[in-house]
Structures are given as structure tokens and as C-alpha cells.
Chain A
Amino acid sequence: MPPQLPAMILAEIKAVFGRWSGRGALVLAVVVGLGAVGFLEVADRVADNMQSNGTPARQMLVTDWGTSLAWALNGRNFFVLPLLLVLAGASTLSGEMNNNTLRELLVRPVPRWSVMAAKVAALAVLSLVTLVATCLSALVGGAVMFATDGEVGPVLSGFAMSWLSDLGLITMTLLVASFSRSVGGVVVGLALYLMGDWLFGKLLSLLGTFGVEWAPLVHDVLPGTALQAWSTWDAGFEPKRVGALFLLIAVTWAAATWRLQRADVP
């Protein structure tokens, strides 16, 4: 391991937070945390006048500290923040390959795997900081609005699992980025893959209803399903999904590193 790896990681963290995708993710993370509390407060005010399938909304709505944190978790993992993480990941590899700043790193006395490791670590820090920002802003906002009633422990474990899910998304992004010099190409490539993964998952579910025994097993370990491992925080995490997530991180990280090792960098 190169002795300068910690310094490399710090330099990459500076770069990740210096880009608009990193700064935007941080701002959005706080907005999502406070926004979740605000939405819950608004829902609380209108709940008495609303119904859902004939059931009064008030009966379905729990307005407490734990619920506001759960809303923040769901909001944080809904589309925009993961997209910003993908953009940050694509910029750090494809973007740097495209504008030739990656070349300046690779002429330094460091093995390429360590460059990839520094980038993964920096993106993992970005993910962690956004999760902490969302979590803290929702905890503080929720405490102010709803006092500290309601259990937050399981939701916090959801935040922790989200970090692992983000890591899977990051390493998948870097793998796609190792094939493309365009940030847009990475986003489109990853979106197409996840769409295909989702459709395949639907097909497997359908096969499951027809009694094909292996179909649900495969469905549970698909990358797209593994990335959703955080979403079962209230019912307990499924070991198969978590295992698949670890496998996804390991395989995509290794494959992205292998690609960078072999790549000609102009």
C-alpha cells in the first residue's frame, strides 16, 4: 500500500466536495432532512380532512420524531441524492479521464488500484456526510416539531444500511465509468442497466407466481434488489440481500479497478 494513500484520499475528498455535484448533494441532504419534518407537519395539519380508500388519513398517520426520521430516510434515498452520487462518481473517473486530469495522477508513483481506492473512499465519505446531514437535520427538526417521541433506532440502522447501498451504487458507477469517458454516458448506462435489472426482477416475480422455485431466490440477489437492502429497516434486514450487496460492492470495485489497471490513458 502506498504510504501516501491517506493524503490521496484527502485530496480526492477535496475534489469531490469542490464539484457542484458534491456541494449540491450536501445542500440537498440538509434540505431533505428538514423538508421531511416539514412535510410531516403539513400532513399532520391536513390529515383530519383527508381520506385514503375510505380510511381517514389521521388513522394512518403517526406524527412523531421516529416517523419524521423515517420520512427523511425515504426522501434521501429517493432518486435525486443517489443521482447526485452517480454524477459525483462519474465526474471523478469519466470526467477526469475526459478532461485529462486523471493523467496527471497516473504519472505519479502510485499503483492504479490505489487511485481507484482513493476515489471510492472519497465518494464513500460524500455519501456518509450526506446521510449524516439528512439524519441530523431530521433529528433536530423532528425534535423541535414533535419532541423526542417515537423510536429512532431502527431508522438509524436504515441510515447505516443506506451507506452500504450507496457504496454499491458508487462502485457500480465507477465500473460503468471505466468504460465511458462521458459523464452523461455513465448516467444513461447505469440507468439502462437498472431499468433492465428492474424488468428482469419483475419477470422473476412473475415466474415465482407460476411456481418456479428458483426465481424469487435470484430476484433477491439481483444488483437492483441488493441496492434496496436499506428499505427493509422496519422489518429487519434480509441476510440474502445484504450478502448480495457486499458481493456487489466487492465485484464491481474489483472489476472497475481491473479496467483502470488495463486502460490506456491518453
Chain B
Amino acid sequence: MNPDTPALVTEGLTRRFGDRLAVDQLSIQVQPGDVYGFLGPNGAGKTTAIRCILGLIRKDAGSVRIFGETNPVRQRAHVGAMVETPRFFDWMSARGNLERAVAFAGVGDRTDIDRSLQLVGLWGRESEPVRTYSLGMRQRLGIARALVGRPKLLVLDEPTNGLDPRGMKEVRDLLANLARTTNLTIFISSHLLDEIEKLCDRVGIIEHGRMIAEGRVADLVAGEAGASVVEVASPDASGLQVALSKIDGVREEGEGEGGRLKLRIEGITPSELNARLVESGVPVSALVPTERNLEELFLSLTSKEIT
């Protein structure tokens, strides 16, 4: 296989439930080795898209290729997945559940099970029935199960769903460790934008089933080439507004910290902006270049609140 073959490509992926388009012409490209964050508000279609990708539900249109494979069964040989809250046979031990997964995966053995259990920190507890496990442990066991078939692509849908802060940290540390120590391609959907920003190389943001932004996290946060965000304050607020309206490449983005005006500037540097304001006779008491983060980008692109 060509090492440059994308890990996951969807083209025009569409799924409709009655009159509602849950996934609308969704195109995604994930490169091998990427940690790809798949973001969107509740109901944006993330889980439906993931289920289409995994073949759990039928797609109405479009295509999915995983490491170049178009055959759904052969595709899944490359994939380890955890869709929403992982479910187990509660009466069976963790090891028993993983053995069942290995049987259906067709690859892997006791060593793979041991390694997965060690990786997720459940070594030593593997003989206990899953019903005795906490939610965080179940989540980690779900990740262990996704790993046992020796996948090249790990698809995780909301892996921190329903966890308390300690459980979230456990899963976050585990994923960071996986990203650091393995050459797995990781496709992860989450609401935890801060964590996605730290973990992921690239993100795709969807809303109403459509991709509205996709790219490297740093590029998306920086916005269009040359654009940046500054916060400016002046004792003459009305004079500041008038002066800003006369400067090209400046767009207000609401209120910043301490009542400062947040501006998106393009084609002009912060120091040039300062100079132009002073030239206009506006006293500038503060001009602070700021960095947008993923959450701000997400909120500016999507119309819904994060829940």
C-alpha cells in the first residue's frame, strides 16, 4: 500500500432520515498518522457520519475509502472503533469481552489483549466482571477493545462522554499517550474543544451535516492568511469607533477582556493599527494582540451553543 494513501476519505457522504438531512455531502480527508478532531454542535451529524463510515448504518449517497479500500468488510480490518458509550457483556470479565472482540476481529491474540489492557491501565483488573467497573474504566476498556484488532485507524466517538473530570483526564491522558507513542491515525469526535486543540493536528467542523471548516488547527485558529485578532481600548470610545470605521481590513468581533474592543485585522499589523489610531487623534490606552483559540473559532463558525 502506498504510504501516502489517505487513512480516511469520504466524498459526498449523505444520509437522510425522512425529510431531515443528517449528513449532507460530507467530504473528509484524514492523512495517515494524523490525529483528526471531528467537531460540531449537538445534532450536527457527527455520530451519524461516523456510523456511515463504519457501515453501521446505510449511506444514501457518497463514498468512503479507508486506506484506499472501498469494500466495507476489508475497510473494517483497518479500523478500531468506539461509538459513543461502549457497551459490554457486564457479566463477563474485561478479558472475556476482549477475547470476544479478538474472535470477531480475526487478528490478535493473548499478547494483543495484554498489551491493550496495559496501555489503558486496566492490567490487574482484567479478570473482574465489567459490571464492577466505573464509567471511566469502561471507557478505557472500550478503547482497549478498539485497539485489539491491530487497527491502523482508531475512530472514537465522544470518548469522554458522561465522564467526571477525573475520568475525562484519564481518557485525555490515554489518548495523548496513544498519539505520542503509536503511529495510529486517530479520528476523534468530541465536544471538548480545549482537548481537541491540544491533541489534534487537523480538525473538521460540521454543522447541519455539512463540513464548514477543515484544516490544520493552527491555520484555522489563525484564520485567513495574515489575519489576527487584537483587543484595543481607549478613553474615547466613540472616537475609537469612528477612527476604526475609516481603516480598511479591520472588523469588530465583539467585546474582549476588561471591556476592550476585540478586532480582527487583516493586511495591517497591530503596530500599524496603533499608529493609524494615534494619527486620527484617538488616545490608545491598550492594544493587546491575542490568539484565537479553537473554542472561539468553533463559536464563530457555528450557530449553536456548545453543550
A residues apposed to B, CB below 8 Å: 2-4, 7-8, 10-11, 14-15, 18-19, 99-101, 103-111, 115, 262, 264-266
| Cross-interface CB contact of B92 among A3, A10, A18, cutoff 8 Å | A18
Task: List 13 A–B pairs whose Cβ atoms lie within 8 Å, in order of A's numbering.
Answer: A4-B104, A4-B105, A7-B106, A11-B99, A18-B92, A107-B55, A107-B76, A107-B79, A108-B101, A108-B104, A110-B76, A110-B106, A266-B57
B136 touches A (CB below 8 Å)? no
Are B103 and A10 touching (Cβ within 8 A)? Answer: yes
B87 touches A (CB below 8 Å)? yes
B74 touches A (CB below 8 Å)? yes
Are B57 and A264 touching (Cβ within 8 A)? Answer: yes
Q: Considering the chains assembled together, what is the distance between the CA atoms of A266 and B58 in angstroms?
A: 11
Residues of chain B within 8 A (CB-CB) of A2 are 73, 106
Residues of chain B within 8 A (CB-CB) of A109 are 73-77, 105-106, 149
Are B87 and A103 touching (Cβ within 8 A)? Answer: yes
Are B106 and A4 touching (Cβ within 8 A)? Answer: yes
Are A266 and B56 touching (Cβ within 8 A)? Answer: yes
Question: Known interface pairs A14-B96, A109-B74, A111-B73. Does A264 touch B58 (Cβ–Cβ under 8 Å)?
Answer: yes
Q: Considering the chains assembled together, what is the distance between the CA atoms of A264 and B57 in angstroms?
A: 4
Contact mask B234-269 → A, CB, 8 Å, 1/0? 000000000000000000000000000000000000
| Cross-interface CB contact of A104 among B58, B87, B99, cutoff 8 Å | B87
Residues of chain B within 8 A (CB-CB) of A103 are 56, 83, 87
Question: Known interface pairs A7-B106, A8-B103, A10-B103. Does A107 touch B56 (Cβ–Cβ under 8 Å)?
Answer: yes
| Cross-interface CB contact of B87 among A99, A108, A111, A264, cutoff 8 Å | A99
Residues of chain A within 8 A (CB-CB) of B102 are 7
B289 touches A (CB below 8 Å)? no
Q: Considering the chains assembled together, what is the distance between the CA atoms of A95 and B157 in angstroms?
A: 23
Residues of chain B within 8 A (CB-CB) of A107 are 54-56, 76, 79, 81, 83
Q: Considering the chains assembled together, what is the distance between the CA atoms of A33 and B99 in angstroms?
A: 34
Are B92 and A108 touching (Cβ within 8 A)? Answer: no
